[in-house]
Every structure is written in structure tokens, then in C-alpha cells.
């Protein structure tokens, strides 16, 4: 296991360098830069623009700027945001809590509902429950998230049951601790529902297909031949093997904590990492974009590693030698 971990961690280094370099190259090749809008302002002299270019290092060649940024990252410094003029790590940390809460809550909401429903429709294949719930799953998968978000905002506006948008109320700072928690939950209900619906539908279909495929396996027929009840066969043998793809998906979902909710955060005005990254890309705030890309890449690689370790732990058919050969 130690040998496998060392090998995976060493493999992450060139991957991170490649991902960050390509990202730096793409944003640097975009037309203009952060100072483009300021150059169009006649009240700002060319001398001031030149001074800001020197201060931000925007007058240097691309490779020089990238390796300076990389050297700073190796010293745990992600640089200064051009738009906010504060440390990139501080900005990301200040928004991370909101995105993590939203993403984790929507993932729990989707998994808690989707997996039991997937089991039910698989066990009762071709029944009325299977057809109705499968239809609802396809319907949920076909609705774009942004359209559902606008629809939920309309519902909130018409009924007044939920806040129309935002992360918390304007009087949040004056509330007592219990009221603050309730206010946060109230603002999370609609975004969690919107993010969870599409995931719930796809997870349900995946669970159904996995169980139907494994139900006809040789070891399942052997378990039935031994006289085990259908409940024991499904929940002890079939379900355990059907969960393997979900373990992998859980690992990859770590990266979604950064950008998966960006569109919903923009539509519903939620102060999270996704909205921060979207604004950074629009303003060509290169160091804030690079900090976000770096964290997203690290989360993706670490999540993949944790998923592989969990897969070895729950499935005796998988070992580290098999993972190394992939």
C-alpha cells in the first residue's frame, strides 16, 4: 500500500504542472488582460497603466510569469488577486465554506433518495413503480439546472415560502446562533433541491442498471440455490457489488466542490467558489483563476486516489497490483 501511495503521489506532480501550465496558457492567450478595461478609461494615464502592469507582472513573458507563480505556490503562496487586491488563498477560503455546505448537502440529498429508489425499481423491474419512477428520472435528467433554478426562483417569488436568492438574510449578523443556522438552511433549500435533482435522477438510473446486471450473475444464482431469501441476496450480495461505481463517483465529486455549483451560484446569487471563479474568468484575474484551477485539480486527483483506496477496502476482488496496472 505504501509503495502504491508513493507512486500515485509522485504521478500527481507532472499532472498538476501540466494542468496548471495549460490553464495559464489558455487564460494568457485570451484577448486583452485585466487592465484592458482600465486602458479605455481616459481619466487613467498610460503611465499609471504601465506602473500597474509592472506591479502585477503582466509585462513579462508568459513562461516567466508562470514559473514565478509556480515558485510562489511551492512556497504556499497563490499570489494576489488583481481584482480584489487580497491574497488568493484568503479569497478562496472565505468562499469555500458556502460552496462546500451547498455541494455536500445536495450530494447527501441526492444519494439518500436516489439509491433506495434505484433499489426499489430494480427489484420490481417492469412494475408500475419502475415505469413511473424511471419516467420521473428521465424527466429530471432532461431539465437544465439553470432552467430549474429560474423556476424555483419564480416559485419562491410567487409563494414567499423561500428566499429569492442570496446566501443569508440582510439581518443575519443580528440573529442569535440558532436563528443563523435556520436562516442558512432556509436559503439552502432551493439550491440544494436544484443541484440534487439532476444527480438524483442519474444516480437512480445507475443503481437500477447495476442491480439488474448483477442480479443475473453466477454468484447470485449460487446464493439463491443455497436457499437464501431474496432480501438477503439483494442487500448482502447484489447491493454490495453494485456500490463500486458509486465509490468512484464519490471520489470524483470532491472536485465538484469547487466549480460544480458555479451556474446555480450565479443564477441564485450565492457567494461561493463557483461564482468567484466565474467572475475571475470574466475579469481575467489570472492569479485567482490559477488558484481555483490548482485546488480543483488537487481535489480531483486526491478524490480519485481516495476512491481507489476505498474500492480496495470494500471489494476483495480488487487489489493494489490491479490498480497499478491501470
- Domains of the chain, CATH where assigned: 88-324 (1.10.3720.10)
Q: Which residues are CB-contacts of 302 (< 8 A; sequence separation ≥ 6)?
A: 254
Listed residue (304, 119, 289, 133) closest to 214, CA to CA: 119
Q: What is the pLDDT of residue 319?
A: 58
For 14-18, 163-167, 284-288, which range has the lowest pLDDT when averaged over its residues? 163-167
Contact between 23 and 293 under an 8 Å Cβ cutoff? The reply is yes
Tell me the percentage of the chain whose pLDDT exceeds 70.
87
Write down the residue that cell numbers 436563528 correspond to.
179
pLDDT score, position 320 = 53
Question: Given this model, what pLDDT does residue 300 score?
Answer: 78
Looking at residue 87, its pLDDT comes to 87
Please report the pLDDT score of residue 112 as a whole number: 85
State the distance between the two ends of the chain, measured CA to CA, in whole angstroms. 16
Query: Dihedral of the CA atoms 183, 184, 187, 192 (nearest 10)?
Result: -140
Is a pLDDT exceeding 60 seen at residue 274? yes
Q: What pTM was estimated for this model as a whole?
A: 0.73
Give 272's DSSP letter.
S
Of 28-42, 70-84, 189-203, the range with the highest mean pLDDT is: 70-84
Contact 291, 258 (CB under 8 A): no
**Res. 315: pLDDT tops 70:** no
The mean pLDDT of 117-138, rounded to a whole number, is 78
Residue 166's pLDDT band (cuts 50, 70, 90): confident
| Pick from 240, 241, 265, 257: nearest CA to 302 | 257
Q: How confident is the model at residue 132 (pLDDT cuts 50, 70, 90)?
A: confident
pLDDT tens by residue, 14-25? 888 998 899 888
pLDDT band at 318 (very low <50, low <70, confident <90, very high): low
Contact between residue 62 and residue 24 where contact means Cβ atoms under 8 Å apart: yes
Q: Among positive and negative, which fits the CA dihedral 168, 171, 177, 178?
A: negative
Mean pLDDT of 204-218: 77
CA dist 285 and 27 (Å) reads 9
Checking if the pLDDT of 11 tops 80, the result is yes
Q: What is the mean pLDDT of the segment spanning 25-30?
A: 82
The candidate with the shortest Cα–Cα distance to 120, out of 207, 26, 224, 39, is 207
Say yes or no to pLDDT of 247 above 80: no
Give residue-wise pLDDT tens across range 74-97.
888 888 888 888 888 888 888 878
pLDDT of residue 222: 77
Band (pLDDT 50/70/90 cuts) for residue 139 is confident
* Residue 175 CB burial class (10 angstroms; 0-12, 13-18, ≥19): middle
| Residue 8 in this model has a pLDDT that exceeds 60 | yes
Amino acid at each position: 500500500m505504501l509503495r502504491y501511495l508513493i507512486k500515485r503521489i509522485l504521478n500527481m506532480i507532472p499532472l498538476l504542472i501540466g494542468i496548471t501550465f495549460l490553464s495559464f496558457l489558455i487564460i494568457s492567450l485570451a484577448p486583452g488582460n485585466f487592465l484592458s478595461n482600465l486602458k479605455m478609461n481616459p481619466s487613467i494615464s498610460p503611465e499609471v497603466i504601465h506602473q500597474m502592469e509592472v506591479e502585477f507582472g503582466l509585462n513579462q513573458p508568459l513562461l516567466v510569469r508562470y514559473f514565478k507563480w509556480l515558485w510562489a505556490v511551492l512556497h504556499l503562496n497563490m499570489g494576489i488577486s488583481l481584482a480584489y487586491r487580497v491574497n488568493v488563498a484568503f479569497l478562496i477560503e472565505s468562499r469555500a465554506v458556502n460552496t462546500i455546505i451547498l455541494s455536500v448537502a445536495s450530494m447527501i440529498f441526492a444519494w439518500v433518495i436516489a439509491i433506495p429508489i434505484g433499489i426499489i425499481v430494480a427489484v420490481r423491474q417492469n412494475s408500475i413503480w419502475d415505469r413511473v419512477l424511471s419516467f420521473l428520472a428521465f424527466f429530471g435528467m432532461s431539465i437544465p439546472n439553470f432552467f430549474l433554478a429560474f423556476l424555483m426562483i419564480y416559485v419562491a417569488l410567487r409563494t414567499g415560502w423561500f428566499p429569492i436568492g442570496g446566501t443569508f438574510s440582510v439581518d443575519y449578523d443580528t440573529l442569535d446562533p440558532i436563528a443563523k443556522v435556520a436562516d442558512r438552511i432556509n436559503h439552502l433549500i432551493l439550491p440544494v433541491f436544484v443541484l440534487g435533482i439532476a444527480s438524483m435522477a442519474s444516480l437512480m438510473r445507475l443503481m437500477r442498471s447495476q442491480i439488474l446486471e448483477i442480479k443475473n450473475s453466477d454468484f447470485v444464482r449460487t446464493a439463491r440455490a443455497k436457499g437464501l431469501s431474496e432480501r438477503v441476496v439483494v442487500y448482502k450480495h447484489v447491493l454490495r457489488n453494485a456500490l463500486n461505481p458509486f465509490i468512484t463517483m464519490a471520489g470524483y465529486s470532491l472536485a465538484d466542490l469547487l466549480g460544480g455549483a458555479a451556474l446555480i451560484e450565479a443564477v441564485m446569487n450565492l457567494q461561493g467558489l463557483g461564482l468567484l471563479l466565474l467572475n475571475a474568468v470574466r475579469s481575467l484575474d489570472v492569479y485567482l483563476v490559477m488558484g481555483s484551477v490548482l485546488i480543483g485539480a488537487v481535489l480531483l486527483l486526491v478524490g480519485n486516489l481516495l476512491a481507489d483506496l476505498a474500492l480496495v477496502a470494500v471489494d476483495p476482488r480488487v487489489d493494489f497490483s490491479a490498480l497499478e496496472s491501470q
